[in-house]
Amino acid sequence: MTLSDIKSQIWAFTNKDLDRVKAAVKVCQPEENTVQYWQRVLLYLQSTPERKPSKRKVKEPDWVYERYNKAYRDYQAREFPVWVKDGHTLDARQCDTSTANGLQTFIQNYLTWTGSYGNRINTTGRQLPDGKWIKGTTKRGTGDILACISGRMVFFEVKAGKDKASDKQLEQQRKVRASGGEYLFVRTAEEFLTEYEKL
């Protein structure tokens, strides 16, 4: 069997899934363009079950992605006017907003691109080289993202799946609102954009 035949088998076996092939190649290193090497890659793929797509994917309404891309285009026009004038613009890289991390990235990007202030907050502390953890100094229940929108301080606490608000978070929400700020829980990019427009 030739090298070309084996690569064709790999391509057909993975249903032209380039990411899956790349992952197998990475595992089967060192890379060498030989029949034996690519046979190992094929064997690895055949013995490794195909990873099922995540069920947590959230399909946001089309207007959410349009608003996100428009914010990125406007940001590019402000920051790189010559580049944009010459027709060189990029589309925003889409985030998986079904995960907390993806939704936080979406919010952080949108705030930055629209000229608002946004900063992700880490409350977990940090890990030392010996494996021990140093507790963070941020108050428990603080929102995931601190924002300043039109002069108003806003915390966004991102919730994914069945995650619920903790007592500490509800306490922080009460204190922030009592001081004139806002503390919002959001589960989707659509919810975030709706709240953002209200602010």
Fold (topology level) of 62-198: Trna Endonuclease; Chain: A, domain 1 (3.40.1350)
Residues 6+ apart with CB under 8 A from 189: 60, 64, 68, 95, 97, 103, 106, 107
Q: Break the chain into its structural domains and give their ranges.
A: 3-47, 62-198
Find tokens 């990235």 and name the residue. 105
What average pLDDT does the segment 11-33 reach? Answer: 78
Confidence of residue 89 (pLDDT cuts 50, 70, 90): confident
pLDDT at 31: 66
Is the pLDDT reported for residue 182 higher than 80?
A: yes
State pLDDT tens for residues 29-67.
766 778 888 888 888 888 877 766 555 456 788 899 999
**91 in the Ramachandran plot: left (φ > 0), alpha (ψ -120 to 50) or beta?**
beta
Q: What is the pLDDT of residue 146?
A: 94
CA 3 to chain CA centroid, nearest Å = 38
Strand pairing of 117-120 and 133-134?
unpaired
The answer to whether 53 and 15 have CB atoms below 8 angstroms apart is: no
* Mean predicted confidence (pLDDT) in 115-140: 82
Averaged pLDDT score across all residues of the chain: 85
Residue 140, pLDDT score:
83
Q: How confident is the model at residue 6 (pLDDT cuts 50, 70, 90)?
A: confident
Q: pLDDT at residue 1 above 80?
A: no
**pLDDT, mean of residues 20-33:** 77
Mean pLDDT score, 9-30: 79
